[in-house]
Structure 1
């Protein structure tokens, strides 16, 4: 299945201080060229992002109408989720809600204030300086589970320093050390608990999945997490990019990996022979702290490679559960 991520635009009804998107002076609408591209695809998975994508529902509907056989997902802050719930349900959208779990939220909105009656929900949790304590985050998740009446899996991603505006929330080396240690501890508890007792701790499955899916990725040099042989990323006009949040390096539709490979060769030649590149895809190639992110991924995935060899059977069984 081919995966396409569409960046609809930069408008947002919240203002998270750590956000790494850069706004366009003029935002494009969904182009006829992009709709033609989508109509040609027979087996497509489409993900909508922003800004806040629910502010672009007219554009989303154009894409959905053009791809009746596709699967859809959306990453949203949840402010307008109730308004569009029925539409998402009717079109089988997988909805990823943003919730960081910090005791002092920078988002200004809590998407988990009442019973959540929706079958396909994930949670995106951003780790930034000041929000790296897994115990605190998991406590927050546990509180929300009692309110919404369902379990939540902790699926974190790290914030990326892309400007002076968000560098105050940059993760430092000590933050990364702590994140790796906690990640290792949680996944070890999950896997060894499953081996001993056959019990799956759902709370840690997001952390496990974050490692397991990268193991399956097998990125080749020139591919990144954002753009690879499975995933392409474009804006509403149908232009393809290395990164949708910055959109300052365009890629040709026909051979995006070839162009991206030349970019990687020029900027990060050491990635070519790195043991963990097949897992991390070169980290965030737009981050102003690429060296620190590289340090983080090397530590995390080097541990995972050794750990997975020792627990292969359990890991594959858990991977099959998701």
Structure 2
């Protein structure tokens, strides 16, 4: 059995990770004290970590998202944002990640007077500081909240900062009642600017969310996307038949940013052994493995892969295949993706795979 410690040593790629979902518990406590935030349920770091995991593991995406009020609450100054971003980079590098796109919503961090540009600048400064000398290539995704009306503004912000380390644009938040087409002007702006964007779709809502994200909004990737399995029928003999939407997703190689543990915690998947990633990997969809929210789900990318090894019997070739899928799908120039695949990822796995 491949161990988590062994997986931590190989080069990995992370495409779906939320900055405000990955804080160190002790950092939350210290920032709360420094910024005068008094609403934490406890100031004991160990108990706080347990509280975050317990609050997130409810089987409800809405309840899961409620825990973010505390992390966002302590991320309202430039110093706090830079520290969180620096520690994020340090933690990902320690987990063996060589390329990461970490997302955050600038509009959630302006309560104490920061401008949107100041929020982005602070986070990018932190990413640079935390990744120096580690071999980790960090980029940001700027997220707009789908229940708000600032998506075009955030898309413009993403384009304004793309030469400084912003990889692209995203929308997130509760899917039900907030279809991606509400933000069509932002997606069209990104396309006119030759920008990249992903859309949270097919997590807590079904096929219509995926269809709109792809066929109306032209998303480059799908955040989660696991409900595409609703368009696949498996007969008693195990033969799978793909519907038109599922067939399109597979045939045009739409990357699926899957987050197995988080999907179980939010109720998007009933259990790890029944998570759609098993079937979708077998059918050779462009599946990638991600953490989503490391604090809330109590995971690392290494632990997510270890979970798949235990649940589906994956070996090194599966882990490498999923990793290369992610690198192919990154919002990074082609030559840089190719260099990381050929010079870093493949050599890193070469001694492990016959």
* TM-score category, normalised to shorter length: 0.3 to 0.5
TM-score by length of 2: 0.40
TM-score, length basis structure 1: 0.43
